[in-house]
Amino acid sequence: MRIAIDFDKKVPNANKDVGAVNLAAAGWLYGAMADRGYSRQLHDVGILVDGTVPTRGGLKQKPYVFSIRNGKRGARMLIDSMDSMFLLNIINGFYDKPLKVADVTMGVTKVATSRRGLKYEMAGGKHNLAKAQFFCLSPFILKAKNSSYMTVEASNNELDEEKSGEDAAGEIILNNALAKYKALTGRDIEKPWMKVWFHNPIPGWTKVHNNVVRFNNSHMTVMTSAPELLHVIYTNGLGCKNGLGFGMVEVHNPNKTKYNKMEENNNE
């Protein structure tokens, strides 16, 4: 389920200062959630693979993704999740407080929901592969094993001695999607496989908490042995820092595709 929140003003420097804009929007979203205890828990510790809450400073998995972009009249925040508890907190949220970005104060004018879901193709093959084409609503971030953030064009030494470019980036995206799927459903996927083709990727960078973070923008084709992973990418984001407004995607070419609606998991 996608939720759209419209504002009465546009975001200043939306494309030039992505990190600051996303941080402001993420903080505002935590404050708007209906259950303040749930909001604090989600901010501080996230969720664990077994559905329990870790100690502060432990593994953080956030069950949602969002993007904020300017429209003709004002900004729009799009939010998506496959977690029913999170969705209830957003749908029943309190939106009386404005979102402040730099020196601009933006009030909420409308909150709407959409049940439009993922569309993908069955690509066949030995493993009954599924394929989807996405484009970025917000830049996505890749985090390597050495904890550095990098672009799709990262070198062999930065990612993996035997993999570079698209292969290494695709492996990072696969592992990230598997971790999210496990956290949200408590299940593993047997023999997972994924290949990602990036179409004219555009690198960039921003600052998040005064740290330089490299990001990517691209259309992309994702093929995988598990359609569930396409659903995770669509509803919970591609790459990392999805709870900070990075990695939200939309279907690029829905023609001749097959509708897939995966039952939302309730982590109560």
pTM of the predicted structure, to 2 decimals: 0.86
Looking at domain 119-259, its CATH architecture is 2-Layer Sandwich (3.30)
pLDDT digits (tens, 9 = 90+) for 162-211: 455 567 888 889 999 998 898 888 889 988 999 999 988 888 999 988 88
207 in Cβ contact with 19 (< 8 Å)? yes
User: In the structure, what pLDDT confidence band is assigned to residue 253 with cuts at 50, 70 and 90?
Assistant: low
> In a 10 Å sphere around its CB, with 0-12 CB exposed, 13-18 middle and 19+ buried, how is residue 192 labelled?
middle
Please report the pLDDT score of residue 161 as a whole number: 46
Asked if the model's pLDDT at residue 257 lies above 50, the reply is no
- The yes-or-no answer to whether 2-114 and 119-259 have a common fold is yes
Question: What topology is assigned to 2-114 in CATH?
Answer: Alpha-Beta Plaits (3.30.70)
DSSP conformation class of 242: G
Domains of the chain, residue spans:
2-114, 119-259
Spell out the residues 6+ positions from residue 53 whose beta carbon is closer than 8 angstroms to its own.
41, 45, 47
CB 5 within 8 A of CB 79: yes
Model pLDDT, residue 41: 86
**pLDDT one-digit tens code per residue, 222-252:** 999 999 999 999 999 999 999 999 999 999 8
